[in-house]
Structure 1
Amino acid sequence: MAGAPIAVHSPSPTGGRRVTARGQILGLAHSDHDVIEFLRRAGLDDAETLLDDPARVKWVGDHAHQYDAA
């Protein structure tokens, strides 16, 4: 695999971070809870354990777990 299949993208100018899985947009997260919910809806039952696993989730453009406006 070339990179992590899940990406939490840079914060948007209005706040929140786009979450994608293998290029498919899952939603706009405003918290870790949102990311976990998107991943659960995508069928990942172990979503709570994934956020800090760099092999599975890549935090793009800013520090992990920060959702404030850019």
Structure 2
Amino acid sequence: MNTNTTIARDFLSVDEAAAIFGVSSKTVRRMISRGELRAKKFGTLIRISRTDLDRAGRPVTSLATVGGE
């Protein structure tokens, strides 16, 4: 298997992460800036690992959690 293919499957672009979260790419960039989402730079490209993207989501345990209470 090609190493570049493995990297492409393991890491997502900011736009791909935004589509998964259902938010704008600007929101994903803010999440990275605030430290809520880890990202790596490959040259000039910003990439987010699928594992880190999964960790960024918080589990919802009740409707109070959804409302931020």
Give TM class, smaller chain: 0.3 to 0.5
TM-score normalised to the size of structure 1?
0.34
TM-score normalised to the size of structure 2?
0.34
Q: Name the one with the larger strand percent.
A: 1
Q: Name the one with the larger helix percent.
A: 2
Q: Tell me which structure has the larger Cα radius of gyration.
A: 2
Q: Which has the higher contact order (CA 8 A, sep 6+)?
A: 1
